[in-house]
Structure 1
Amino acid sequence: MNLYNIKDNSEQVSFAQAVRQGLGRGQGLFFPEHLAPLPDVDALLDLPLRERSARLLGHLLGDEVSAEKLHAMVDAAFTFPAPLAKVSERIHALELFHGPTLAFKDFGGRFMAQCLAAFRTDEKITILTATSGDTGAAVAHAFFGLPGIEVVILYPKGKISPLQEKLFCTLGGNIRTVAIDGDFDACQALVKQAFDDEPLKQAIGLNSANSINISRLLAQVCYYFEAIAQLPKAERAKAVVSVPSGNFGNLTAGLIAKALGLPVKRFIAATNANDTVPRFLKTGQWEPHATVATLSNAMDVSRPNNWPRVEELCRRMGWSLEALGSAMRDDAQTVDALKRLYGEGYLCEPHGAIAWDALQAQLADDEVGVFLCTAHPAKFKERVDDILGLDIPLPGPLAKHAELPLLSHNLPADFAKLRAFLLG
């Protein structure tokens, strides 16, 4: 598989190199040079999740990874289902929270860990990543205890849910967590500065596990196929998929699935008050505002890193950006949506509720809707309990970590301080 740097097309790398390197020159994102349509999508959709995913990823990677090895990697990573739950007559929820950290990031984080284990050399590897909530837990648990790999996770202090924090800041060992005095964009800016520091990169073998890493992105393509596979065949071409969007890796993966031939009619990018993309799609002006803290904190991103990949794919496929649906919901609208969705008999959390509300508002009479549920409601227990008057029981993984002490360090949003911490 050949990939190129979107910012500098002269930089071309293999999949293994892209996984190890994370970012290209000038903080450019790697993107597949070829996205050939799959030869028989209907037959592929008849297969079980793991067998289908191995074939799908094999189609993308070519002969870079043997079929036997890829099947083993997928079997080790995707050890949990992604069921499609019927919410109403024409709307379904794709539940992506049945993995070990109860969030959709388990798919990408665990597959990336398998890739790095397969591709690593004897050189030291330090994973540096920023999280607005769920990436941190997925990456921490996927890499916990792996020999030769250190993990450092930055997150905005006081701006993720307490249970999200407990799930990845209580592990210790090769997992170091840092609460940054700032928002997610400040954390992300620190990661970018680290990747621009060549001596630092070489000294600690820097890599990133954000959705900027191509291995995570390709893993996410797989669950879009799983969603459509669970729809009746007659409804697949009428499917509209609503994606709760923060850093826009999730939407990018869905669009790649469509480019490969998955029968999705269209997508809706649903954001919270951090609505840089919906405003851009309406006005054509890219004008990020200061990041606002919301009930749906994993989407509190005003400068989404993956948006250049969306633009690149649409350019290559000849798709108009105007065909991409979008919506913004503020906190008051999110609370209302969560209540109405619960009234339909489905317990959700703020991110999924935003995607559902955008979907039901934009779904035509002849269409079928799927919205992505990216996290278990219990990960936002305090907020959901308060809004819905419930007492959600904690699933096993959350109950276990809720009782453990936090092991996080605290740092200002200062690269010199972070650099010293990474080298220390």
Structure 2
Amino acid sequence: MAVSNGVAMPGVLVSPRLRPFVVAFLLLQECVQLSCCGSRLAFLPGFEGPLPFHLETGYVAVGESEEIQLFYYFVESERNSKEDALFLWLTGGPGCSALSGLIYEIGPLNFNIKAYDRSLPEFVLNPYSWTKASSIIFVDSPVGTGFSYAENPLAYETGDFRQVQHLHQFLRRWLISHPEFISNPVYIGGDSYSGLTLPILVQEIMDGNDEGKSPAINIQGYVLGNPLTDPAFDQNAPVLFAHGMGLISDELYESLKRTCKGHYQFSESSDADCMNDLMAFHQCTSGLQTAHILEPLCGYASLKPGEMFGDRRSLLENFFLVREPTDLDLGCRTYGYRLSYSWTNDDNVREALHIRKGSIGDWQRCNDGLNYTNEILSTLQYHAKLSAKGCRSLIYSGDHDMIVPFMGTQAWIRSLNYSIVDDWRSWMVRGQVAG
């Protein structure tokens, strides 16, 4: 047995000049065994003409027995895919499909709501796509999300830590099948509930590199938007936010501070006066679209007391059960989500995406019926450890999100006692203050 730089071949001495080719061969051989290669899509139902960017879809097998098939969409950078950053993007939930990130958030396509005529939804290009400057893998995770499925029913039982483990396996195996991206700088990105799993995933990747796992991942940092991080900050922030935005009176706010003593969560141990104030708070804010308070509620059933403060953050899309898309104002964000159901459940679309027949039933944008255990309460210590290791991070917040308000995010960042390098300054867009 000859061993050279971790490459072992029975009875063969490997020339130093050939080692890179041998490593690539072994990685590709492992990829074949793992069934982790995808298919490129030149055309997509709903988009007229050939796609002006590289889109690939596929599955990567993960789990102890590789019984879990995680589905992904991959879009290459439209600038310089050989050098630009590679993102692994995690959608919140847990249980919300990666298609949300691809179509509604940072990907190169948007549904053309204005042109919708009750047939297959059509697409327009998104001029603000992050793929203008980076390659992005959008993965349906955890299992049971989007088009991801398990070959063993027992494998659908999952949770925070198992999801992290599977995502770690996914990324290394995806890179094995895409060796041209192994040297690219890698960032992990996500929003909402991903704030509780993403920092741990980054830590796992760095630990795996230290342990010599192959291929090494050129991890450089992570990006989080309106992330859940720690209940002491996240769950108290909506009351502070509502008062700051003028949504509740000064009198109610002062009473909440007095009766709840700064802890604004529904619980069995809450003081009766505190509970009454929290109920009053709910009555004042129940008519809001809490994901974006300036947008209409669009038929969502009002949140029940305590749901705004709960652990599960995936929105219940009640409109899907109540009304057909022909009756909806698709200009409303939440009704616009209905188009994704019409598109993904079309047989021609599934064939184009190379979805395995019989792998799932009806596609759901957010699967609120996952057999999922919420195990992580706080990731503050992971942020501290990662920054101490020199891992870069960018935390951003929408200023009208009342589910994970920016005030809570600012508070937990301050608690880390970082040195301030740059003073607070306006965010300028085309010469105008945008935030």
TM-score by length of 2: 0.29
Query: Higher helix fraction: Structure 1 or Structure 2?
Result: 1
TM-score by length of 1: 0.29
